[in-house]
Structure 1
Amino acid sequence: MDSLAPRLTELAHGGGCGCKLAPSILQQLLAAQPVARPFAQLLVGSEMADDAAVWQVDDHTCVIATTDFFMPVVDDPYDFGRIAATNAISDVYAMGGKPILALAILGMPIGKLAPETIAKVLEGGASVCEQAGIPVAGGHSIDSVEPIYGLAVIGTCHPANLRRNSGATPGDVLILTKGIGVGIYSAAFKKNALAPDSYKEMIGSTTLLNRVGADLAADPDVHALTDVTGFGILGHGLEMARASGVSLTLRLSCIPFLSQAEALARQGFITGASGRNWTSYEADVTLPEGLPDWRRLLLADPQTSGGLLVACTPEKADAFVETIRLAGYPLAGVVGSAQAGPASITVVA
């Protein structure tokens, strides 16, 4: 990159999935929308805060549709494109589907960024789509104040393989496939405090496609799926609890973290989204007594292109963890369970 060019992250007031509106604000906005008349073929809409919309075409095919875009979480335009594309495609995998095509969403401050820099963003996104086996079949672009990139993604699945965030049942075990801490790392990166090895670790995690979701959904012992992104493990766990009508328990000692996430959080590298997230859902979360603030905010840390939260039968949990790890997700592990009770999360040591 041109040494005189601005850092991508300097051109944006937020970055990655930390750009999301706080859960409480989003709920208010959606509640104010008119109730759509029922469509028998619309299996998943906005009612359960699920990862994508799903329309059943016939007895054998569902179409999955989603869109996701955000401002830069890194300065390298190619990496930015890769992260944003991986994050957008994840929603299809989180529904148990396989992507079939993508459309690019691009907004760039044309007077501030060179065309070749913008082209690198698109190139990065296209490279991830190639890994996923799908084309970037078109898109739309505008001249915007801040750099924005993402995808609209279409996927398909068999109706029997569709997995909502509403399928968790009492007794289920919860598995998380990727480590937590992307928001922490991005906060450190913006302040030039993220070590090169940690940057590499962050890129490795955020550009790892969640394609294992489609494989898991083919097993009837997997009851629910969602991906953990901007609302953190607590926020997306609560969405699953509310949609499923269960209470979740998360075991803090079992939650995987990126290698330097805890150390950086203790040093104060916390995003503003962590605080907004926590304020939005603290009434429904019970934490261990005396839990330090940095640990609490780490649990609310916004994940960009995070992992999948999987609810499954306890008898198959160990086998699923082994399968997920062998598929390329070494930090995957059991992090909690679901119980009968009001929609809430209890975090235990």
Structure 2
Amino acid sequence: MLRCLPTITDPAVLISTSTADDAGVYRVADDLALVQSVDYFTAIVDDPYAFGAIAAANALSDIYAMGARPLTGLNIIGFPKKRLPMEVMYDILRGGADKATEAEVVIIGGHTIEDSEPKYGIAVTGVVHPDRIISNAGAQPGDSLVLTKPLGMGIITTALRIDKASDEVMAEAIAVMATLNRAASEAMIVAGAHACTDVTGYGLVGHLGEMTAASGVGAELSVEKIPVVEATWDLARQGIVSGGARRTEDFLGERVVWASAVPAEAQLIVCDAETSGGLLIAVAPDREASLVAALRGAATPAASVIGKISADPRHRIHVRH
């Protein structure tokens, strides 16, 4: 789709659409670059305040994934004012504002349109030193892959729509989705991470596929080491997954090599879409322990070494049990 856009020739553009990275980066001075991203989506939980907080955390995550510091945001909201009371919109915005305040980000404006269903997100601007950008294109063979949140958000929120998710499971999922990736980003910067991406709409395998393609490498994953919200397994066995799982699997095709021991539900989980997922970090093996220790010290939802980067010119991802 993006191929129809004009080729970018401005030398100040450091990162654009060519590597499917999490944000665009534009140099404004020798020691300063702007990092910009926009993200919004329809309501995935029933509580409007929680929806606002999750959407804000999700939008900020793209900036954190680049090793940057978010500064300002512009709200984007679509709302069916003839169908829902305005108090619902206020609660969505309040959830987003509180999460932005937690992140020390200032919401300086925004835009609202009338829509058929609630949609909310933020256009975020951050800053980073041009020499300290962490893109998805720097992974090196031998790097350890570390994940900072458990999987299962897409499956659980899909289950909610058909009344298959308990209050306890939803509470756990909301807590994970509303957690900022700020502490994880700070830890990976200190550890000298080679590459990073956040795990969102293309699922773990989809975003890892973008990283391996951009970096010119392959990867190996171990399913038993991947953190997953426990209730997700039973839901996946029931076939409760979003449409994103099948699309990711079809898109990557033969680039993903599944070991025979990997069960069908595990394949669905690692391919399924996530909302406000964790950071997937590629770090040198001799920095793995310090990164994991820092993540655990910061109480990130997960701090799991789930695989490694391999030398593979075909950019394949080998998934074993």
Alpha-carbon separation, structure 2, partners of 1:103 and 1:58: 23
Q: Judge conservation of contact 1:64–1:97 (CA < 8 Å) in 2.
A: yes
For 2:214, the aligned partner's letter is: A
Partner of 1:142: 113
Partner of 1:162: 133
Cα distance, 1:71 vs. partner? 0.4
Partner of 1:188: 159
Query: Residue 294 of structure 2 aligns to a residue in which SS?
Result: helix
For 1:107, the aligned partner's letter is: G
Partner of 1:21: none
Cα distance, 1:242 vs. partner? 0.3
Q: Are residue 256 (structure 1) and residue 227 (structure 2) matched? A: yes
Cα distance, 1:339 vs. partner? 1.3
Partner of 1:227: 198
Alpha-carbon separation, structure 1, partners of 2:129 and 2:185: 10
Alpha-carbon separation, structure 2, partners of 1:191 and 1:298: 18
Q: Are residue 30 (structure 1) and residue 18 (structure 2) matched? A: no
Partner of 2:240: 269
Alpha-carbon separation, structure 1, partners of 2:119 and 2:36: 20
Q: Judge conservation of contact 1:163–1:217 (CA < 8 Å) in 2.
A: no
Q: Judge conservation of contact 2:73–2:123 (CA < 8 Å) in 1.
A: yes
Query: Residue 68 of structure 1 aligns to a residue in which SS?
Result: strand
- For residues 130-179 of structure 1, what are the alpha-carbon distances to aligned partners after superposition, in whole Å with 9 as ceiling and x for unaligned? 10011111000100122110000000112232100000011111100000
CA spacing shift, 1:216–1:62, aligned 2, 3 Å = farther
Structure 2, unpaired ranges of 5+: none
Alpha-carbon separation, structure 2, partners of 1:327 and 1:129: 19
Q: Judge conservation of contact 1:162–1:217 (CA < 8 Å) in 2.
A: no
For 1:31, the aligned partner's letter is: R
- For residues 10-47 of structure 1, what are the alpha-carbon distances to aligned partners after superposition, in whole Å with 9 as ceiling and x for unaligned? xxxxxxxxxxxxxxxxxxx12333322x2111110000
Partner of 2:272: 301
Coordinate RMSD, CA, aligned: 1.3
Partner of 2:317: 345
Query: Residue 315 of structure 1 aligns to a residue in which SS?
Result: helix
In the alignment of these two chains, the number of paired residues is 320
Cα distance, 1:299 vs. partner? 1.1
For 1:142, the aligned partner's letter is: I
CA spacing shift, 1:40–1:187, aligned 2, 3 Å = same
Q: Are residue 289 (structure 1) and residue 251 (structure 2) matched? A: no
Query: Residue 194 of structure 2 aligns to a residue in which SS?
Result: strand
- For residues 100-144 of structure 1, what are the alpha-carbon distances to aligned partners after superposition, in whole Å with 9 as ceiling and x for unaligned? 011000111111111111111111110100100111110001001
Partner of 1:46: 17
* TM-score relative to the length of structure 2: 0.96
State, as a whole percentage, how many aligned pairs show the same letter: 38
- For residues 200-250 of structure 1, what are the alpha-carbon distances to aligned partners after superposition, in whole Å with 9 as ceiling and x for unaligned? 110111000000244235336310011000000000000000000000111
For 1:348, the aligned partner's letter is: R
Q: Judge conservation of contact 2:262–2:320 (CA < 8 Å) in 1.
A: no
For 1:270, the aligned partner's letter is: V
For 1:32, the aligned partner's letter is: C
Partner of 1:245: 216
Counterparts in 2 of 1:323-334, with a 5 A limit? 323-334=294-305
Cα distance, 1:290 vs. partner? 5.1
Alpha-carbon separation, structure 1, partners of 2:6 and 2:263: 42
Query: Residue 195 of structure 2 aligns to a residue in which SS?
Result: strand
Partner of 1:65: 36
